Amino acid sequence: MSDPVTALKGAKGTAGFATVTEIGPVGMITLRGDFANKAVVKAAVAASGMTFPEQRRCATQGDQGMAWMSPDEVLIMCPYAEVHDRLENLQTALAKHHALAVNVSDARAVFRVRSPKVREVVAKLAPVDMDEAAFTIGMFRRTRFAQVPAAFWMPEADVIQVVCFRSVAQYMFDILNNAAKTGSEVGHF
């Protein structure tokens, strides 16, 4: 099999007040289905190794996680090498149910932004209230970053992780670095 290559080959930007790193490849499975159906939830939990997330939240642990995307969609994250096995098991478990599970690992780019002022980087780009009381660790938010759709969450207090489409990876990398330019700190948070 050919080697997986991320969109920006692990580009890293350290010039600003935040470090922007393209991470990955990350294994990602999109699961759509009716989560009122216990069998679908059970299959998602088994495939992700995580508890089922509440509305607008995500649960992550090491390399694996599960995020709430919409009332009928979750995103399952896992190590890239395991994604085929996990997807196969998931599809076997869902064979008799109305649900859709797709491997979207190579369709996405993932960035990690690290800085004590990381909330400022997001607040400059997305229409999201980044106050510490409003956006807490464990929340997951789908929104836009400048002109492109993206989703992000905070695994730790000074880290955000952003998922976007692979085709806009360079744009995302550029706007994140631009928002983190040294001297552009607003100091609001």
Report yes or no: 28 and 104 within 8 Å, Cβ to Cβ. yes
Min CB(68)–another protein separation in Å: 8
Q: What is the DSSP string of 56-83?
A: TBEEEETTEEEEEEETTEEEEEEEGGGH
Measured from the CB atom, the residue of 40 and 83 that comes closer to another protein is 40
69 binds another protein (CB under 8 A): yes
> In the stretch 135-154, what mask flags binding to another protein with x, by CB under 8 A?
------xxxx----x-----
Using CB under 8 A as the binding rule, the residues of this chain from 27 to 56 that contact another protein are 55-56
Please report how close the Cβ of residue 135 comes to another protein at its closest, in angstroms.
11
CB-wise, 16 or 33, nearer to another protein?
33
Site for another protein in 97-126 (CB under 8 A): none
Query: Cβ atoms within 10 A of the Cβ of 187, count?
Result: 6
DSSP codes, 126-138: SSS---TTTS-TT
Residue 138 token pair: 């464990």
CA–CA distance, 151 with 125 (Å, rounded to integer): 12
Contacting another protein within 73-102 (CB under 8 A): 73
CA distance 20 to 38: 39
Which residue in 80, 128, 138, 155 binds another protein (CB under 8 A)?
A: 128
* 14, 70, 92, 136: residue in contact with another protein (rule CB under 8 A): 70
Determine contact, residues 158/112, Cβ cutoff 8 Å: no
Task: Report the nearest approach of another protein to the CB of residue 123 (Å).
Answer: 13
User: Which residues lie near another protein (CB under 8 A)?
Assistant: 55-56, 69-71, 73, 127-128, 141-144, 149
